[in-house]
Amino acid sequence: MTLLLASLFAATAASPLPPATLFVGPLRAITSIGAALAVAGPGDIILVDQGSYPAFTVTLPVTIAGNGGTFSVQPGLTTPAITVSGLLAGTVAIDGAQVTWAGTSAAAIQLLNCGGDIRLQNIGVSATGNLPGMAGRAAIEVTNCTDVILEQVAVLAAGARSGSTTNPDGANNGLSAVRVEDAQTLFRNCFLRGFDAPTGGLFAGDAIRTFDNGAFTPMSLWLNTDFTPGSQQTLVGGNAPSGNGGNCLHRLGGTSLVADFCGPTFFAAGSGGVQTGGAFAWNNDGGLVGPGIQRMVPACVFDMIFPLSAPAVVPTGTTFTVGVDAFAPGGLALLFVSIGSMHLAALPGLNGRVLIDLGTASTIGAAVTPAAFTLTIPPVPSLAGINLTAQAIVNSGTLLVAGTSEARFISIR
């Protein structure tokens, strides 16, 4: 009997406790989010009443959400308003936080060294004032994280926001909305605007700036919408009256970036007295055109399709034809292809796979839509059994409309 009771006690003690719900508010027993985190356990839920709260740091998997509305978080003089750091497993979800980015030399939100999942939803960052001489790089900084989702996150860049001209990314003294370094990130239904450069500034900020050191090869971004009526993602580069306009998506670093666009996305590159930015830019060029640098005009991206005549199975060593349709005929179509095994699998819970390798993708052809492209699969036996992915980018010719196809996976046999 003693052994039986001991075993029952051990089993009961080892069973996981249900998640606790902690309430935070000015009139509650717990008045700060940091205090709630100090007593929370993995999986707990922290519900925050409307009000203004000091900065906090999350290091364990919890959910932090507004209790029936949004809540405000204020950054410190040298610390972000929200920091998620050192998460090894599990999910951190933060929903409804609003950050006024002022009076600090740090990012508004920083996600750092996280092997678990991080999800930011319904987050707003609004900025006032300038930070001349500070070493800031972006409003939201994501560094060395395995799985990050930003959904309905808005960075509202009002005017100039200058940082150091010697930061690791180069002489950008208009800060970016989001900077992603060595991380896998999904953006869904976000509005991101890079900050303007001050008068006399060199380069304005980018909507999304990426920097990779080879932690992920390739590093991947997903830019998706949820396809509900009116849903759209917006990327806007900052302006530089006497310099170079910011880009919508700007890749830096030494390896490769893969981006998958799915759903309506509006691109508006920043204006510049010297050079306008681009929808896409490679290398640390601030939007300038030069060797090894590819740019697209400002564009609005809509879904497009490959005709169903594209074959589902292609033998190695054969040539076949694939077409690209466009809802705006007469645009220039570029077809990108890659072998499926080159790419990372989709993140857990995300749709599709990464498609366009902005660093190494080869342009198979260019033609005016509707267009047909001839592709040849190399006669390499080891290619059998894997997939070919293809995606088209189409510019309508009006400089206002462009399109990306959805993925088409063609098996190689």
In a domain, 11, yes or no: no
Q: Are residues 184 and 288 in the same domain?
A: yes
- Whether cis (ω within 30° of 0) applies to the bond prior to 218 is yes
- Do 296 and 319 lie in one domain? The reply is no
Claim to verify: residue 24 and residue 124 sit in the same structural domain: yes
The answer to whether residues 314 and 285 belong to one domain is: no
Domain C-terminal end among 301, 325, 350: 301
Domain end (from 257, 275, 301): 301
- The answer to the question of residue 65 being in a domain is yes
Overall average pLDDT of the 304-324 stretch = 70
Q: Is residue 6 part of a domain?
A: no
Q: Is residue 362 part of a domain?
A: yes
- With respect to residue 95, please indicate whether it lies within any of the assigned structural domains: yes
Residue 310 banded pLDDT, cuts 50, 70, 90? low
pLDDT of residue 169: 64
The pLDDT-based confidence of 285 (bands split at 50, 70, 90) is very low
Are 308 and 396 found together in one domain? Answer: yes
Residue 337 is encoded by which pair of tokens? 């292809």
Could you report the per-residue pLDDT of 249-258, keeping only the tens digit for each? 888 776 667 6
Mean local confidence (pLDDT), 168-193? 84
Beta bridge partners of 253: 212
What pLDDT is recorded for position 122?
Answer: 95
What distance in Å separates the CA atoms of residue 376 and residue 380, rounded to the nearest whole number?
Answer: 11
In a shared domain, residues 281 and 373? no
Q: Residues 322, 218: one domain?
A: no
Q: Report if residue 12 sits inside a domain.
A: no
Residue 223: its pLDDT value, please?
81
Q: Higher model confidence: residue 284 or residue 82?
A: 82
Do 330 and 216 fall into the same domain? no
**How many domains does the chain divide into?**
2
Pair 199, 331 in one domain? no
Each residue of 127-160: pLDDT tens digit?
877 766 565 788 999 999 988 999 999 998 766 7
Question: Does residue 8 fall inside a structural domain?
Answer: no
pLDDT in tens, 380-390: 787 777 667 66
Compare 201 and 371 and report the one with higher pLDDT.
Answer: 371
Residue 337's pLDDT band (cuts 50, 70, 90): low
Q: Tell me: do 149 and 287 sit in the same domain.
A: yes
More confident residue, 267 or 209: 209
**Are 58 and 196 in a shared domain?**
yes
Of residues 370 and 201, the one with the higher pLDDT is 370
Is residue 15 pLDDT above 60, yes or no?
A: no
pTM for the model: 0.76
Tell whether the model's pLDDT for residue 171 goes beyond 70: no
Domain end call among 280, 301, 322: 301
| Separation CA 125–CA 194 (nearest Å) | 12
CA terminus-to-terminus distance, the chain: 65
User: 165 near 171, Cβ under 8 Å?
Assistant: yes
272 half-sphere exposure, CB direction, 13 A CA radius: 28
Residue 391, pLDDT > 70, answer: no
Give the CATH number, domain containing residue 397.
Answer: 2.60.40
Average pLDDT over residues 393-406: 52
**Residue by residue, what is the 3-state secondary structure of the chain?**
CHHHHHHHHHHHHHCCCCCCEEEECCCCCECCHHHHHHHCCCCCEEEECCCEEECEEECCCCEEEECCCCEEEECCCCCCCEEEECCCCCEEEEECEEEEECCCCCCCEEEEEEEEEEEEEEEEEEECCCCCCCCCCEEEEEEEEEEEEEEEEEEECCCECCCCCCCCCCCCCCCEEEEEEEEEEEEECCEEECCECCCCCCECCCCEEEEECCCCCCEEEEEECCCCCCCCEEEECCCECCCECCCCEEEEECCCEEEEEECCEEEECCCECCECCCCEEECCCCCCCCCCCCCCCCCEEEEECCCCCCCCEECCCCEEEEEECCCCCCCEEEEEEEEHHHCCCCCCCCCCCCCEECCCCEEEEEEECCEEEEEECCCCHHHCCCEEEEEEEEECCCCCCEEEECCEEEEEC
Q: Specify the higher pLDDT residue, 131 or 65.
A: 65
Q: What is the pLDDT of residues 38-47, one digit of tens each?
A: 999 999 999 9
pLDDT > 80? residue 69: yes
- Where in the sequence is the domain holding 230, given as residue range(s)? 18-301
- The average pLDDT across 283-293 equals 44
In whole numbers, what is the pLDDT of the chain averaged over residues? Answer: 75
User: Which of these, 1, 45, 42, 6, lies nearest to 22 by C-alpha position?
Assistant: 45
Residue 196, in any domain of the structure: yes
Residue 261 shares a structural domain with residue 344: no
